[in-house]
Amino acid sequence: MNEKKIIKSLWIFFIGGLITIATYLFSVQVDFYHLYGGMPSTDVLENPQSELASELYTADGMLLGKYFDFRNNRSPITYEEIAPSMIHALIASEDCRFEQHAGIDLRGLTRAFFISILLQQNKGGGSTLTQQLAKNLFNIRKELNYKGKCSHIPLLNKLIFKTKEWLLAVQLERAYTKQEIIVMYLNTVTFGSNTYGIKVAARTFFNTKPIALRVEEAALLVGMLRAPTRYSPLIHPENAKHIRNIVLSLMVKNNFLKKSEYNLISEMPIELHYQEENYQQGIAPYFRAAARDFLLKWTQANGYDLFADGLRIYTTIDSRVQTHAEAALKEHMALLQGTFDEHWKNSNPWIDENGKEMDNYIETEIKKTKLYKKLLEKYGEDIEAIDTELHTAIPVELFSWQGPIKTIMSPFEKFKQHRRILQAGCMAMDPHTGHIKAWVGGINFAHFQYDHIKKSKRQAGSTFKPIVYTVALDNGYLPTDKVVDEPVPFLQYDGKIWTAQNAWKAYTRKKITLRYAMAKSYNSVTCYLVKQLTPKLVATYAQNMGIKGPLEAVPSIGLGSSDVSIYEMVGAYSTFLNKGVWTEPFFITHITDKQGNILQSFIPQTYEAIHEDTADLMTYMLKGSLDEGALRGVSSALKDNNEIAGKSGTTSNHSDGWFIGLTQGLCTGVWVGGEDRCIHFRDFELGQGAVTARPIWEKFILKLYNDPDTVYQKGPLVDPSIPLSEKVKNIIQTKKNYDVQPASDTSVNTSRDSNHTKKAVIEELDINNIF
């Protein structure tokens, strides 16, 4: 064969090879006869869908938390938000020719072919950053719509998948700039420890932002990309330091770092500020859980994925108010728990109505837990096996106010120990807008996840009484009206007589004003009003003021015998500061998609529940507690040059302590009690709401006043231009001039133009002598 024939054959072979390769690439691109499987469309390439965690923000712009399954725990950032050292480390380590190639690095492929394949030396592959990005964005190896008839053939399927990655890399290079590719890559990679994206990784490992990453931190994160578990600084710190220094040396080799800097940095130990993200960390964990329940329903109804669509949820919570509320609750509950433990000492606090310890209480209650249900699934009806596992000692973590206690104990004993812990809840709301500013659903979310704001409903005790007085004032009574403190018998449906006693088990038989009676929490006067107005009318008003749960229209309704939530009670009391208009408590203002487009804005339900004059009179009535009632013992720092109002409540066996407090621009509700109603103090002095719940409110409000960054300061409760006392005098004088008629027992006067009526002829005092 002569030279010309050889050259001709080579050219034919070369051109034929090019045609074959081009034909093959084209056939893969168009999925010829569905042999190879589809490719991402142009639209998908230009707008790749990266699954993102949804983020929850406070009203003051703080990231409150995220909703994600771990694969979606990522937050996108821009190129300008990434430290140059991070970009330099990435290019030096993963793709030193990144700026020169167009998606495929032929030199790198050749090196990978000869060294890694032919010589069987594992010196790394030839994939560029763009190819790796293609893998991250489009899972062509697993998704069915990217597989064809040849995808099941060994070796051939690998060639097809690799070809698609090459094609996608080239297309990505055409669609995006180099900077955009770097950003997309760092937003999609995983760094281990359930962290996806550079923003989450920087926060998780170093508690910083990507722009603030130091050279050694950036080198470590880039090194971890090669094998997140093997090079994890948490699991293998020596391996992590080794790979960090390799990346640093590559930065020197590629002129991103000076040799002198390398010598210094390479000797430095790894310093972590590790904090893995989860639902329990940070402020407002109970609120985040409550918001999650709402958002799951909303996303399902509106066709979104809370854990993958990168939604932005903006809430009404104020991070500063929330922080102060949590701190106040923890401070007081730690002290109260000490008192409770000393009160019961070695005795168990679960007692019956006769004050005796309840037999088999723990054995009965533990059967209601998730743990017991899991054991039932595991062992079926083998009660002995279940009992054995419940009483087998294992490593456990107990809650204590001094910090978690790790010990060896059986699940049964752990459950018993935790049942001795007092619980609490606190919610603060702007009465004018309905915005919930603080939501503290319990004492510790890690150990006690049941939310005591909205889910928990307990008897309200005397905090329900203001609703009875509201009905009275809205139907013609005045704060100055007097009623005799004496027994008020009710004939019940069963023919028996029920008569409520005052908390102090006695009656003065004297006439007292309604304002004084409410401040001192006279049961007799409350029952008198319930009897005159009827339980049905009281229940109707309560429901109109936001108590949406079932209410029994029975004689004891006015004493708080029905179960209510903090959420409902705060909404009801807020009506007093909002001119009689009930505003639904709510906690989300709007939701946007990841581009910032508003998907839905939320506006609370509002309506006039009581007359404006009634609201002012009730606010004035509640101020009476400052002089004679639950507020009498508050610190001068809180009441000096300030208007405050409120009402405490305690159930008959001291199992529930309540306090609802009003300050300028804020209505706050607090509940304290045991996990179960049978867990409580044995006497009223220790268990009353003024002792168990009110101090939390007091500490909370003082913290707000002492914080210059909050808007909550001392001031009048209602209209600053007219003192409340003057306004009340004018209202009372106007009402005295009405020519009134008796009202129907079942009517609800809510019209601002209607004449309010009185139910009985009662001796009245001079309006300047309130008591």
DSSP classification of residue 51 = -
Q: What is the pLDDT of residues 556-609, one digit of tens each?
A: 999 999 999 999 999 999 999 999 999 999 999 999 998 899 999 999 999 999
The pLDDT assigned to 419 comes to 96
Predicted local distance difference test score (pLDDT) of residue 70: 56
Q: Does the structure show a pLDDT above 60 at 756? A: no
Of residues 353 and 318, more confidence is placed in 318
- Model pLDDT for residues 208-230, shown as the tens digit of each residue: 999 999 999 999 999 999 999 89
- 428-479 pLDDT tens trace: 999 999 999 999 999 999 999 999 999 999 999 999 999 999 999 999 999 9
Confidence band of 116 (pLDDT split at 50, 70, 90): very low
Q: Are 582 and 544 contacting, i.e. CB atoms less than 8 angstroms apart?
A: yes
pLDDT recorded at residue 170: 79
pLDDT confidence of residue 154: 66
Higher pLDDT pick, 139 / 233: 233
Residue 141: pLDDT over 50: no
Which pLDDT band, with edges at 50, 70 and 90, does 520 fall under?
Answer: very high
Rounded CA-CA distance 767/771 in Å is: 9
Rounded to the nearest angstrom, the gap between the alpha carbon of residue 532 and the centroid of all alpha carbons in its chain is 44
Each residue's pLDDT tens digit, 50-77: 678 899 999 999 999 888 765 556 677 8
Report the pLDDT value the prediction gives residue 109, as an integer from 0 to 100: 59
Strand partners, 591: 313, 600
Tokens at residue 72, please?
């979606």
> pLDDT tens-digit profile of 324-381?
999 999 999 999 999 999 999 989 999 998 889 999 999 999 999 999 999 999 999 8
- pLDDT: is 763 or 667 the higher one? 667
User: E strands of 404-504, at which residues?
Assistant: 405-409, 423-429, 436-440, 458-459, 482-484, 489-491, 497-499
DSSP classification of residue 561: -
pLDDT at position 634 is 86
Query: For the residues 487-499, what does the mean pLDDT come to?
Result: 89
Reduce the DSSP state of residue 672 to 3 states and report it: strand
When pLDDT is cut at 50, 70 and 90, the band that residue 104 belongs to is confident
- Has residue 151 got a pLDDT over 80? no
Q: What is the mean pLDDT of residues 546-564?
A: 94
Q: How many other C-beta atoms are found inside a 10 Å radius of the C-beta of residue 51?
A: 17
> What is the C-alpha to C-alpha distance for residues 240 and 47, in angstroms, rounded to an integer?
35
| Mean pLDDT of the residues in the chain | 85
- Pairing mode, strands 581-583 and 482-484: unpaired
Q: What percent of the chain has pLDDT over 70?
A: 81
By the 8 A CB rule, do 441 and 287 touch?
A: yes
Report the pLDDT value the prediction gives residue 627, as an integer from 0 to 100. 63
Q: For the segment 634-678, what is each residue's pLDDT rounded down to a tens digit?
A: 888 998 999 999 999 999 889 999 999 999 999 999 999 999 999
Note the pLDDT of residue 99.
86
CB 429 within 8 A of CB 321: no
Lowest mean pLDDT among 112-121, 248-257, 482-491, 646-655: 112-121
Quote the CA–CA distance of 570 and 559 in Å, as a whole number. 17
Answer yes or no: are the C-beta atoms of 394 and 410 closer than 8 Å.
yes
**Phi and psi torsions of 65, nearest 5°:** 175, 175
Question: What's the confidence (pLDDT) of residue 762?
Answer: 36
Q: What confidence tier does 493 reach under pLDDT thresholds 50, 70, 90?
A: confident
pLDDT at residue 150, as a whole number: 60
The whole-angstrom separation of Cα 155 and Cα 49 is: 30
Domains of the chain with CATH codes: 74-265 (1.10.3810.10)
Percent residues over pLDDT 90 in the chain: 63
Q: Is the dihedral of CA 74, 75, 79, 82 positive or negative?
A: negative
Task: For residue 676, give Cα distances in angstroms to 312, 350, 422, 450.
Answer: 37, 8, 10, 12
- Minimum mean pLDDT among 139-143, 520-524, 648-652: which range? 139-143
Maximal CA-CA distance, the chain: 133
- Structure confidence at residue 768 (pLDDT): 36
> Given phi > 0 = left and psi -120 to 50 = alpha, else beta, which region is 647?
beta
| Higher per-residue confidence, 267 vs 115 | 267
Least confident of 186-195, 229-238, 361-370: 186-195
Examine the pLDDT at 764 and tell me if it is beyond 60. no
Which pLDDT score is estimated for 741? 42
Region of poorest pLDDT, from 20-34, 435-449, 683-697: 20-34
pLDDT digits (tens, 9 = 90+) for 744-754: 333 343 333 33
pLDDT value of residue 743: 40
